[in-house]
Amino acid sequence: MLFKYRGQIPVILFILAIPTLYFTDPTCILKNDMVYYSLTGVAVAMSLLGQIIRAIAIGTSNKNTSGRNTKEQVAEALNTKGIYSTVRHPLYLGNYFMWVGIVFFTFNWWFFITVSLLFWIYYERIMFAEERFLERKFGDSYVKWSMGIPAFWPSMKNYEKGEISFSMKTIMRREYAGITATMLGFIFVAYLREWFLTEKLPTSLNYAYWTAGALLISLIFRTLKHNTKILFEEDRS
């Protein structure tokens, strides 16, 4: 059940961000431009790191492995090379950094710590269930590989170059929704923060431009994916 509903985490974070921003006073941060832009840069960097980790994992994965399935565990092949030779769950690691960057942008450190702990508790259960499934599916080959690879924090000690080349088309086809959601997350936090601090609805057209830009990215790649062959690849999921 946890595995099936893991995609709802961003929605929950958006909801929790509303009271968090309402009760957070970031005045001391906003008054100092250097501090504000430094912390904003850290937040964006974390989300960007998450996107890069996901891109590497997805862009170099066998088409028969798990990752796209949302209702149940599915896998016909086992990834053991490339980024999977440094960490067993790179997609979950990428998810963490991608969303915690937005959480960090609220400038509420308790919210950041709480979300990090809850993320670990939630995904630890998912990782456990996934690993039991893969152990039953692939037997000793999975056990032997997993014993030398950390679950969540990467280690280059056993790095082995992957055999599948990186595909940017795969990223454009599969990751546009996550990229758009991340951009909207930052816009959402910035908009609510200004609203709550000024007690007036922000009227700056910048929010409209940023939102339109994020949605346009999603629309373009969704159209290319479903209505053209531009992003189609024979040997990729």
The pLDDT confidence band at residue 25, using thresholds 50, 70 and 90, is very high
% of the chain residues with pLDDT over 70:
89
Quick one: fold of 6-164?
Four Helix Bundle (Hemerythrin (Met), subunit A) (1.20.120)
The pLDDT confidence band at residue 79, using thresholds 50, 70 and 90, is confident
The pLDDT confidence band at residue 6, using thresholds 50, 70 and 90, is low
Assess contact for 47 and 102: CB atoms under 8 A. Answer: yes
pTM higher than 0.75:
yes
Q: Which residues contact 91 (CB under 8 A, 6 or more apart)?
A: 53, 54, 57, 58, 67
pLDDT tens readout for residues 85-125: 999 999 999 999 999 999 999 999 999 999 999 998 888 88
Domain boundaries defined on the chain: 6-164
> What is the sign of the dihedral through the CA atoms of 13, 218, 92 and 75?
positive
In 3D, which of 132, 154, 5 has the Cα closest to residue 75?
A: 132
Letter string b/e over residues 126-159, b meaning 16 or more CB atoms within 10 A of that residue's CB = bbeebbebbeeebeeebeebbeebeeeebeeeee
Q: Evaluate if residue 1 carries a pLDDT over 70.
A: no
